[in-house]
Amino acid sequence: MGLAGIPKPPLFARRALAVVWPVGAAALTGLAAPVIVAGAFHSFVDKRARLFRVSVLGVGLVWVDVRMLMECWRLSLKDPKGAGPTWEDDHEAVFLAGLNRAMILAKIWVGFEVKLDDRMHFGRESAPLVAFARHAGPGDSLALAWLLGHTAGRMPKIVLAEALRWDPTVDALLTRMRSYFVPSRTGAGDDRTAGVRGLARGLKHDDVLLLFPEGQNFSKDRRRRLIDRMREAGQELRARRALSLWNTLPPKTRGVIAVLEERPDADVMIVAHAGFGQLSSPKQIWGAIPFTDRPFLVRTHTYSGDEIPDDPAGIEEWIEERWTKVDEWVTAHEGRQP
């Protein structure tokens, strides 16, 4: 089913989760303690110490999440109506600090490290930035949000599944940061791009809108199923295009068109990354830990707004051409996988 098929929690559940989550985190930590001890002893057998690394990292990330939630509580007590001039900026600072802590923990415990294949160009300082990124492998959303926030110096505005509201920290913090939660399929209206347009409309000059046009993480099975559905629907041209992409899924263009029509003044960054795209199952991820010899390698290319077509057909063709280039770069670094 995936996240897209999971509805958001009802309002009473969202409020209850925000209260009980720190207690739940303490309980999870208690339950994890014997696993951590067992993992420490098991590291004498498994020299890669995977159980120990993952269990410690898991507990650490839980408390990073709880700390951000408590910071949201503190800011609510400071400004109960959320009307202060620094309300959004304060929450953005909490978000960036939490991302940084999570990335530090990931590097220490499982060797997850972001590296650049080439210098990044962040667009004009006077214009907002839109980043269309490949979606593949564990942790890519957090890694790219961290990269854009700390390296590009731009505040990420994120489009994410509404099911993620089940995490009370994501629900509170990302809502206050004006991120957009895409409605689940079970509750979707006719126009699922309206929220994306609204988010794009509100971009400031130092913001970056992070969007994943593929809509879901790449895997060979997803690629195969998508091509089969296209053929069953008689979309032979789209199926042939999808077949030409070895390590990416074809981009869904409605959201891309909506954003670029709403903000023709924005610069656009195309983000490719390699190293983790073939890790699409828990077994594969487990087998690759630690990632010390597998950097999360990022390659970007930035276009000014006047380089991009302004009509829907032109935008669709443009993003598909860019995705072909993304796939070629990824394939060169991850290998061709039919």
Please state the domain extents for the chain: 3-334
Question: What confidence tens digit (pLDDT) does each residue in 258-298 have?
Answer: 999 999 999 999 999 999 988 888 999 999 999 998 999 99
- The Cα 307–Cα 322 span in angstroms is 13
Decide which of 118 and 153 is more confident: 118
With a CB cutoff of 8 Å and minimum separation 6, the contacts of 29 are 59, 62, 63
What would the mean pLDDT of 149-172 be, rounded to a whole number? 88
Whole-angstrom CA distances from 265 to 130, 251, 260, 310 are 10, 22, 8, 10
For the chain, what is the mean pLDDT? 90
Q: Using a pLDDT cut of 70, give the percent of the chain over it.
A: 95
Is 3-334 in CATH node 2.40.50? no
pLDDT (mean) for 138-152:
90
pLDDT at 241 over 90: no
Residue pLDDT, tens place only, 39-51: 999 999 999 999 9
- Residues making up the chain, counted from first to last: 338
Average pLDDT over residues 115-140: 90
Q: Which pLDDT value is given to residue 216? A: 86
pLDDT for position 17: 92
pLDDT at 1 over 70: no
Which structure tokens are listed for 65? 């999440």
Confidence of residue 188 (pLDDT cuts 50, 70, 90): very low
Ramachandran class of 178: left when φ > 0, alpha when ψ lies in -120 to 50, beta otherwise: left
**Taking the model in full, what pTM does it have?**
0.90
Is pLDDT at 318 greater than 60 in this prediction?
Answer: yes
- R_g of the chain, CA atoms, integer Å: 21
Given pLDDT bands bounded at 50, 70 and 90, which one contains residue 96? very high
Q: How far is CA 225 from CA 97, 103, 218, in A?
A: 39, 33, 11
pLDDT at 191: 65
